[in-house]
Amino acid sequence: MTSRSGEHIAYESATGRRRAAADGARVSAGEDPGGMEKPVQAVWRGWISFGLVSMPVRLFPATREHGVEMREVHAVDGSRIRHRGVCEAEGREVDWAEVVKGYQTSGGRTVVLREEDLARLPLPSRQVIDVIGFVPVDGLDPILFSRAYYVAPAQEVARRPYTLLVAALARAERAALAKVTLGARERLAAVWPRRETLVVQTLLWPEEVREPHGPAQAVPVTGEELELASLLLSQLPEPDLASVHDEYTAALEQLVAAKQAGEDLTQPVEPKPAEDLIATLEASLRAAADRGTNR
């Protein structure tokens, strides 16, 4: 796509397009325990064990991505850029069927690891989601959250212990902490009930979380400022998440259309810091009250 100004535009709208939100998952026919729009393929098969109770289960991606997929193109003529696998030693392009994993030892030697090698990893969590303890649901730090998967019983015999675990966790308002290997990594995970379905939420390891960089120095605030801020928070509405949408795709399409037409786009007004915090809070309260009156 070329604009009137001669610039090349390359993008692909991917709104509503399902991507596998899991390690190496592909979309295909299969059971969908979470009631999503289209069935998806299980990305993991194994067992959940708590105490002496074990049950066969499967994991399905609980989320999907959408949006706009950009292409890498040559700035001069807009043609696609292709990345090819070239063998460093032979200097030739190799077929992807010849590409495997390699682990470099401390001595600089590369040990080739094929899929059949990785399948023999002596790691219990490759086959079993082994519960190591239980924590209050509200005791999990959201910064640890990574990906979510729906859990489904893999056999009829698993339905009763599955239902029991859902009910017990819901009654106790607790989540099970466990370890599971997905893709090429062992992960910490929380297992918790959501709408009568078990969810496995992979978590970051604590050492993967950075400390805040350059934390802001606390400064004293007045009682009036705190009172006004608290009042403002209480008056702002609770949003309906189903009505909140990603506007990036529409904005990008506007940008593409403008570039094609050789036109400029109106830019959003940049916010300014509040010089008088009390006056700004009072103005915010009046605006919130006006919005409530006009509903």
185: tokens are 């990594």
- Kindly tell me if the per-residue pLDDT of 228 is higher than 50: yes
| Helix segments in 96-222, DSSP class H | 115-118, 159-172
Neighbours of 226 (CB within 10 A): 11
**CA atoms within 13 A of residue 113's CA, in its CB half-sphere:** 14
Stretch 120-127: mean pLDDT, rounded? 88
26-75: per-residue pLDDT in tens? 333 344 454 445 678 999 999 999 888 999 999 999 998 877 788 899 99
d(CA 156, CA 179): 24
114: tokens are 């094929």
- Kindly tell me if the per-residue pLDDT of 83 is higher than 80: yes
Tell me the whole-structure pTM to 2 decimals: 0.74
Work out the percent of the chain whose per-residue pLDDT is above 70. 85
d(CA 114, CA 98): 10
196-225: per-residue pLDDT in tens? 999 999 999 999 999 887 767 778 889 999
Q: Which domains does the chain have, with CATH numbers?
A: 29-65+119-208 (2.40.290.10)
d(CA 49, CA 128): 7
> Which pLDDT band, with edges at 50, 70 and 90, does 295 fall under?
low
d(CA 125, CA 116): 17
DSSP state of 238: P
d(CA 251, CA 194): 34
